[in-house]
Structure 1
Amino acid sequence: MTVKGLRQALKQEGPVIIASNHCSNLDPVVVGCAFPRRLRYLAKSSLFKVPVLGLIIRWLGAIPARREETAGAAAALKTLIRLIDSGESVLVFPEGQRSPTGELQPLEEGVGMLAAKTRRPVIPVFIRGSYEALPRHRLLYKPAKITVFFGKAINTEALAGEFSSKEIRKIVTERLEEELNSLSEKAKL
């Protein structure tokens, strides 16, 4: 695994929000190995019921989430806010679910909402190669070169003095999408 841009990401002090593309079940492990601070992340609640896997993802810092329910999404957001407020960094996948093609999908605004509420920096991350190693609907891992690109942090604290929470949510989502697209282009080189 190759990691690029990490030094810049580590300049951020305190808890951060890592926002990564999502192509594979390997992604939380890949980002967790690339980023030296402990990360907490949301995982589909049904995964916690799978023998052995449930124990592993808990050990990796996963938190059960029910994506399909609005109440579940609100509870997940509150959980992430509580974790950040207690000093923990979190990993989120703003596409909402794994990409079926390996390409970046449109982003949901949850990361922007989380950033607006916590005012913590958002660090964009793009993973290249995890889709080739373990795409959706494949059970067996195939060796592949994986590269993790850390992008420029989005400073939400600086936005807080000028914009409303709703505006911050939108600005963060737009900037994150721009940065992830830029990192995606770098990954193709």
Structure 2
Amino acid sequence: MVVKKILVFLYQWLIFVPIFIVLTLITALTVMVMAPVFGNKFWGYYPPKWWSRLTCWLALCRVKTRGHENLDSAQSYIFVPNHQSAFDIFLVYGFLNQNIKWMQKESLRKIPFVGFASEKAGHVFVDNTNPKARAASLEKAKEQIVDGVSMVIFPEGARTRSGKLGRFKRGAYYVAHDMKLPVVPLTINGAYDVLHRDGFRLKPGKMELVIHQPVPTEFLTEEELSGLVEETRDTIYSALWKKYK
């Protein structure tokens, strides 16, 4: 066990981290150059998708997905996953197989290269400083959800500290309701163990992405959104591994 931990530690810092940094820079530069010229529908999605897949494989993670048959590639959705780890992004981006944009925290804009590339890719940074700024962020999100492009929004707002499911906020559901788009719950398993929120030690393991049935919103009233929030939260919870319940 001690030998294994030492080998994983050496692999992480001598192989994984250097290659990951190079892949990230190549991907960011590709998006920064190509997306403004040729549009972000392709260049904001496919380079990051393969960056994400390579990151999962490079981290020696085994990935399992199910539920792809529930989706239509020509349909736009609002995806609402639980948030276990930074590896959630790699898992969803790499293996959902749906052209997506992300709603991200404003603080991520400050990450060198990545923040600027994210902006050019069409991802939306949420400004929570006041209600007006937050509403403007939601309007920007709506501009990106066209022609089969979908949006991923973490309803918990932040990564879990315990692996357990947190309280859901309503922002994603307001966007879906306003645009009359289906909401798709996504259950993420295993990412919490691969890399904890406050940790730096990589633990290669199994990750799973479960794609649930889309839930229509076009006939819901605004008063019924609370029920939709609870319904999708229960759906995500139902597919969590036992240790996360």
TM-score (norm 1): 0.84
In the alignment, is the contact (CA less than 8 A) between 1:95 and 1:108 conserved in 2? yes
User: How many corresponding residue pairs?
Assistant: 183
Query: How far does the alpha carbon of each residue in 1:93-127 deviate from its partner, in whole angstroms, 9 at most, with x for none?
Result: 01111111111101111122112101111110011
RMSD over aligned CA atoms reads 2.5
1:125 matched to which residue of 2?
186
Structure 1 counterpart of 2:229, from 170, 173, 188: 173
Q: Which runs of 5+ in 2 are unaligned?
A: 1-62
Q: Are residues 1:14 and 2:75 paired?
A: yes
More helix by share: 2
1:45 maps to 106
* In the alignment, structure 1 residue 2 sits paired with structure 2 residue 58: no
Matches within 5 A, 1:1-189: 1-8=63-70, 10-11=71-72, 13-55=74-116, 57-58=118-119, 62-85=123-146, 87-157=148-218, 160=219, 163-164=220-221, 166-184=222-240
CA deviations over 1:149-183 (Å, ceiling 9, x no partner): 111211112xx1xx42x224223212211211112
Stretch moving more, 111-120 or 76-85: 76-85
Q: 2:74 touches 2:148 (CA, 8 Å); kept in 1? A: no
The answer for unaligned runs of 5 or more in structure 1 is none
CA distance in 1, matches of 2:242, 2:67: 12
Contact (CA 8 Å) 2:182, 2:215: kept in 1 or not?
Answer: yes
RCO greater where, 1 or 2, for CA within 8 Å and sep 6 or more?
A: 1
Distance 1:100 1:68, change over 3 A: farther
CA contact (8 A) 1:95 1:106 kept: yes
Q: Identity percentage over the alignment?
A: 26
> Greater shift after overlay, 168-177 or 147-156?
168-177
